[in-house]
Structure formats: structure tokens, C-alpha cells
Amino acid sequence: MRLLMTIFGPVTGVGFIIAIFWQWRRLTHERKVFLTAIDRSAMGLWAGLIGGVGSAIVVSLISIGAGLLLPASVLLSLTLLSIVALLLSGLGYAPWWLALAGIVAAPLARWQHWPVTAPSEWAWRLLALIAIVWLINALLLAVIDPPIDVPTIKMGKRGAKIAVYDHRQFYWLPLVMPVSGGMLAALPWWPTLAIGATHFSLIGLPLMLGAALRTKKQLPKHVLRRWAWQYLAAGGVTLLAAIAAWVTPDFAQTWLLILAGSGIILGLVNALTTRGGINYVSQTGTGVRIVAVQPQTPAAKMGLLAGDVVLQCNQLAVHNSAQLYAAIQLHPTYCRLRVSGLDGEIRLCETAIYEGAPHELGMITFAEELE
């Protein structure tokens, strides 16, 4: 019971509140701007819960089995950094900040009047934990990140409307970690374990992984694919650094500084990747630009994507949404589109037995925006 109380701690509370807030904010924004919710499901919340808990079981078993005993000050620094990062998630979110836990732990221990444990005893363990968590984040972003992007319509520099996309996906990671030292072990009401002469306790360490970003010149899926590779590389390098820190404990403080610097560099690389790109999703006169595609609709089944330009509908050229509406109404039982992707590739998409406008088809265009 005490272990569960630490798992469902302030990080979990703040994380759930923020995740639900962004879900509500997304639906409200889409209904206001496009008169409909693009994705009404709570797939992002379920993915964050199922993917996070499954990953937490794996990380917890590795941490306990490998003896990644960390001082309470280190675990507390991870908790505080998590809360700060979640509160600032409106500006962006990425778990590079985990790397700062080592340099925050010592002053935090002095502030709490705890015994300051020498970094040589735990530096390699912290590096190993962060490496594993970064690798898990890469896996989650690559495998179980729902494509729920929130478009916002803005005016571009050349006078044309462009779509700017926000993507937020959080994963709740309720870790169970071994905590070293006699602080908790000395408490008569806290359960303790022992391996030989080493006494330790188990404590909950809920973390939040995932990504929150805004893109202008590319779709979020392209950024997330690169982020996954970046966290995979960072996790692999940090794992090698953990081995080096284990072999050279006298340089533990140096390894912690290197870890913090690496985390900051990783965060900067994330930001530069997000700001990159060359293709705006902009309004065009050569066709009808698709801003978003509603899931589980005929448009989604046809393979239409955000950023596509519909050039022809039922063999009729279309240059604006009104012409697209009219072309669909001429053949209410069949829809065949000639589409140009953001990469310039031309492809044909079709569906049978359909009646209605593009909005009902599942395409969200600039025409759906409130003037």
C-alpha cells in the first residue's frame, strides 16, 4: 500500500491533469476552428496508459534485477524535474531533462538535510537508468505514438494561410525503484529488503515520457521519427557511459556533468529538428489542400494524408473547395481523387458508395475554418 502511494504521487496527479487538459483543449479548439472534432477518441490517453505501464514493468524489473540502487535525493530530483517539465509542457516536452538529475541531487540533499552520498556510489546507476528510459522513449515514439495532430490556421509570410500543427503525447511510467541508504530502511513502518549486507527499500518513481511539439514546415510525424532515432542514439551512448562510469568511479562527478551536458545537447537537437523542414501546409490555388483527415472515415481508408492536395475529383479538375463539393455531388455513389502529396508524388485514391461533402468524407480543408 505504501509503495502504491508513492507510485500515485504528485507526478502522476499533475501528469493526468495535464494530459486530460490537453485532450479537452484539443477538442475545444478543433470544434471552434473547424466546426467538428477531428478525432473524438481518447486514443492518446489510452496509448499513454497502456504503453507507459507496460514499459514501466520492464524498466522496473531491470532496475531491481541490476541493482540500480539510487539515493533518495536522486529520486526526488527526478520527481521535481518531472513536475516542472509537465507544468511547462505548453512550451514543449521531451525527456532530455532527466539528465539534469545528477547535478540537482547534491544541493537538494543538503536542502533536505539528508546525508550526501558520494556520486562514485551511484553515478553509473543513474546513467544506466536514464539510458534505459531514453531507449524506452524511442521505442514508444516509434511504435505506439497515435497520429493525433492539432492544426491551427495562421497567415503565412506571403499572405497565404498555413496550417501549424501541435502534437502532444504523454506516457505514464510508474516505476518501482530500489532506493539505497538507511533513510527509509530506518523507518519502522517502511518495508525493507536485503541482499547480503545491502539493505534497500522499494519506492515508486512515476515519470512521464513522450513528446510535445509544434511544427510549421513539416508534419509532426516526420519530427517524431527523427526524435525516436535521437533518443535511441542517446540511450545507447549513455549506456556505454554508464559502463565507463562503473569502471572509473573516481571520475563520477565528471560523468554526471557529461550526462547533464549531453541531455542539454539532446534537447537542442530536438528543438532544431522541430524547427526544420521545407514544406508548409499552405492554402493553394492549384487544388484543395487537406489540413487533416478524420480517422476511420472514407478519407482515411483511401489513404489521404494531411498536406495532400486534391487536384481532380471524379475526373474533374478542382481549384477550390466549392468545386470539390460540386464534383462529389455529381457522383454521390463514387469518389475518385487525383492527389499530390507534400513530396510531389501523384497518386489515385478512391472509395465507393458515398454521399456527402468532403467534411463528411473525412477531409478537413481550409474551407472548414471559421472566417
Across 321-340, average pLDDT:
83
CA distances from 25 to 7, 30, 152, 162 (A): 27, 9, 12, 21
CB atoms closer than 10 angstroms to residue 325: 18
pLDDT score recorded for residue 143: 93
pLDDT at 9: 62
The span from the CA of 12 to the CA of 174, in Å, is 8
Q: What's the DSSP call for residue 121?
A: G
- Structural domain total, the chain: 2
In this prediction, residue 298 has a pLDDT band, given cuts at 50, 70 and 90, of confident
- Give the E-state strand segments of the chain in sequence order: 149-155, 161-179, 193-195, 198-215, 281-282, 288-293, 309-313, 316-317, 334-340, 346-352, 363-365
Task: Using the 3D structure, point to which of 243, 275, 307 is the last residue of a domain.
Answer: 275
Residues 156 and 61 in one domain: yes
Mean pLDDT over 92-102 rounds to: 93
Domain CATH for 333:
2.30.42.10
Q: Which three cell numbers stand for residue 6?
A: 508513492
For residue 186, pLDDT beyond 50: no
Dist. CA 342–CA 349, nearest whole Å? 15
Mean pLDDT of 261-286: 91
Same-domain check for residues 128 and 9? yes
Residues 104, 165, single domain; the answer is yes
Task: Please give the single-letter amino acid code of residue 172.
Answer: W
pLDDT at 79 > cutoff 70: yes
Q: pLDDT for 172-184, tens place per residue?
A: 998 887 776 554 4
Do both 27 and 135 map to the same domain?
yes
To which residue does cell 475554418 refer? 369
Same domain membership, residue 216 and residue 88: yes
211 and 242 housed in the same domain? yes
Examine the domain organization and report whether 216 and 99 are in the same domain.
yes
Last residue of a domain, one of 256, 275, 294: 275
* Mean pLDDT, rounded, for 121-139: 94
Rg of the chain in Å (alpha carbons): 25
Whether 138 and 10 map to the same domain: the answer is yes
Last-in-domain residue among 275, 298, 317: 275
CA atoms of 162 and 155, how far apart (whole Å): 6
Same-domain pairing of 242 and 287: no
**Does residue 19 have a pLDDT over 60?**
yes
pLDDT of 197 over the 60 cut: no
Do 184 and 316 lie in one domain? The reply is: no
Same-domain status, 191 and 152: yes
| Cell of residue 255, nine digits | 560523468
Comparing 41 with 194, the larger pLDDT belongs to 41
Give me the domain span that covers residue 333.
283-368
* Cell numbers that stand for 205 in this block: 518513481
Question: Domain check: are 39 and 71 in the same one?
Answer: yes
Q: Choose between 293 and 189: higher pLDDT.
A: 293
Calculate the CA dihedral of residues 228, 92, 274, 238 and round it to 10 degrees. Answer: -40
Residue 67, Ramachandran bin (φ over 0: left; ψ between -120 and 50: alpha; else beta): left
Least confident of 16-20, 122-126, 192-196: 192-196
Residue 197's CB is within 10 A of a number of other CB atoms, namely 5
